[in-house]
Amino acid sequence: MQRKIDSAQLDQAYFAKNGDTHLVEVARFWESFFARALEDFEALGGDILKGFQHFDETGQINIITCAATHGYFPLLGFDSCIAAQVKTGVATHKKHFGRHPRGIWAPECGYRPSGTWSYPVQAAGSSMLGPNSSFHRQGVEQFLASNGIDFFFVDTHLVETSAKFTPYDFLFGGVPIALEEETDAPHPSLYRPYLVDGPGRADGVNVSIFPRDPKTGTQVWSGDIGYPGDPVYLDFHKKRWPGGHRYWQVTNSKIDMALKTPYYPQHALDRTRGHAEHFAYICRDTLLNRSTNGTPPILTSPFDAELFGHWWFEGVEWLKNVALQFAREDSPVKLISCADYLDLHQPSGYLALPEGSWGKNGTNEVWLNPDTSWTWKHIYPAEEAVRQMAAKGTWKKSTEATRLAKQICRELLLLESSDWQFLITTGSARDYAEKRFNTHLDQFRVLIDAWRRHDAGQPLSAETMHSLSEIEQRDSVFADIDPSLWA
């Protein structure tokens, strides 16, 4: 941040020398912006999480957790892999925030119900892990319930196209056959939570879903009508070098970079107030007369956090102004966390959900397609190898073996990140994603081969321990990771 302050000061001198008084003022804006950010950072002692923890503990926000590395649940193979993603995510949340999370963000809003499944690809180097091998997998809600999670979020279409799967007939191994029937409400409301229906219901699995509202999502995300594309907002891509500060507004998303016009910070901040008023109006209009049996409706509008302040620089100011709109005494709509809503109101019955996501066409295709299938051919054998290692338990016999097993699990979690397939499919950073995936795959192979030699009776060599130390330094996430989660 100090470098940003210094570069803004240099920009001021440059623009002043060239007689551009307006850009001098914009450079001063950046100097002030980063000076305040640095002051806030130092006031927190460099611990940004502490600031969020304060607001969580005082009930002003409700921080939820996520899967450890954002692994895409519908395509992960063994149940133990989802269990490890969830348990590690919950443990990390408790470590940093000092309390158990009530909710979770299922990566990519990905959901899979309980049922029989087979691998969508033939695993590399394995004749056993492929489309011809079928087995039973638990539904996402069962993993969440076993970790004390009360709610998660699903995309619109999972609720609108849901079918009620009940009663259950059971085959060998307790695998249910779902008898598809119409739901109690053929068009379930998107503005109330539901309990997920499934075989776990009989065992007391009560996990709620909050459906995503499509209209408010479109208003913020859309490249055509979304707020971030307004001409007066800061352009994300055009930067001045050196320093990297941005001095131009969106102007028009379809014009050449050279034609972008200068940014006016105050104009942009003023526009956030108008957009906040419009957003509040949409919410009021959407929720009008949607009360059911006297229970107030709830509109859930989730977004990627990086949209606010990163892609859309003024997004944080917009969020503040939206909160101020709903805080007005005359506002019929009020802000409430999902946890607080569930404390006040019961979910509106049970709803069975199909498999899906908030990705393209609501399916798995962003993460599984001809460009990404090769990643899964390597992920599935890695999952099987870790499961076998964890089940044997011999990794507990020495400090060195435990270190090795823990790092193997870390590399698997990193391999499972849904970001790699997303970046490959969208093409936004394909080379980077492929390089990162292959790096973790190579490191996993080095470590799992060392483990297999050690498990066969060979001592861990100095070379192996040196390689392990180097990999630990690069990938030091989840210090308290527990390999037994994969057993």
- What CA–CA distance (Å, rounded) separates 424 from 426? 6
Residue 247 backbone dihedrals phi, psi, to 5 degrees = -125, 15
Residue 182: which residues within 8 A CB-CB, separation 6 or more? 163, 164
Residue 134, helix vs strand vs coil: strand
- What CA–CA distance (Å, rounded) separates 441 from 246? 37
Burial of 397 per CB tally in 10 Å (0-12, 13-18, 19+): exposed
- What CA–CA distance (Å, rounded) separates 87 from 104? 11
Residue 164 backbone dihedrals phi, psi, to 5 degrees = -90, 115
The answer to whether 47 is a known catalytic residue is no
- Residue 38 pairs in a beta bridge with none
Which token pair is 123? Answer: 């695993």
Active-site entry in 277, 304, 442, 470: 304
Q: Which of 119, 120, 90 is nearest to 103 (CA)?
A: 90
Residue 455: which residues within 8 A CB-CB, separation 6 or more? 389, 392, 394
- Residue 211 pairs in a beta bridge with 154
Which token pair is 106? Answer: 């299922």
The secondary structure of residue 129, as a DSSP letter, is S
The secondary structure of residue 383, as a DSSP letter, is H
Residue 167, helix vs strand vs coil: strand
Active-site entry in 31, 108, 355, 383: 108
The answer to whether 256 is a known catalytic residue is no
How close are the terminal C-alpha atoms of the chain, in Å? 45
Residues annotated as catalytic are 108, 304
